[in-house]
Amino acid sequence: MKGILNKLAAVVALIIGAMAIFAGGKVLLGIDPGYYVIDWVPVYNFSMGIITAFITAILIWKNHRFAWMAAGATLAAHVIVMIVLQTVYRSSVAQESIQAMTIRIVVWVMILSLLFIQSRIVKTSYQRIESQPREAR
């Protein structure tokens, strides 16, 4: 099970990033989603989708030392945007935007959970090897 949870997390990150690129890109191309859109939200969605799909997902896949930081920063960005939407734009934000941001936050919590579980598995395996006598290794 070496690294399988990191790979799964990377695939999920790639999927959620591609979804953001698609959703944000459609609106940026002028396709009406059927509800009121705050001007900067599609730009944010598209940009974060690009960053997620082409940087963060790759870092996670490679188990790069910045994978945790990139995933955490992505979650933090989504949480900050959600707070802004729920406070500053509460009266004008579409329910669809809130639902999409909620899904992103939940997915990124799951991705970080997968990374955490994988790191615990690796740490436990390493400790088990280190606790064996040298002759047994």
What are the extents of the domains in the chain?
4-136
Residue 4: predicted pLDDT: 95
The helix or strand, by DSSP H or E, that contains position 98, with its residue range, turns out to be helix 95-131
Pairwise CA distance, residues 67 & 108, whole Å: 13
Tell me the whole-structure pTM to 2 decimals: 0.87
Cα distances from 120 to residues 6, 39, 60, 125, in angstroms, run: 12, 42, 16, 8
Instruction: Evaluate whether 20 touches 104 at the Cβ level (below 8 Å).
Output: yes
Task: Sort residue 45 into left (φ over 0), alpha (ψ -120 to 50) or beta.
Answer: alpha
Best CA proximity match to 17, nearest among 77, 93, 82, 98: 77
Low-confidence ranges of the chain (pLDDT < 70): 1, 125-137
DSSP 8-state code for residue 132: S
Whole-number average pLDDT of the chain: 92
> What pLDDT was estimated at residue 3?
87
Query: pLDDT per residue over 97-129, tens digit each?
Result: 999 999 999 999 999 999 999 999 887 765 666
Cα(122)–Cα(137) distance, rounded to whole angstroms?
A: 17
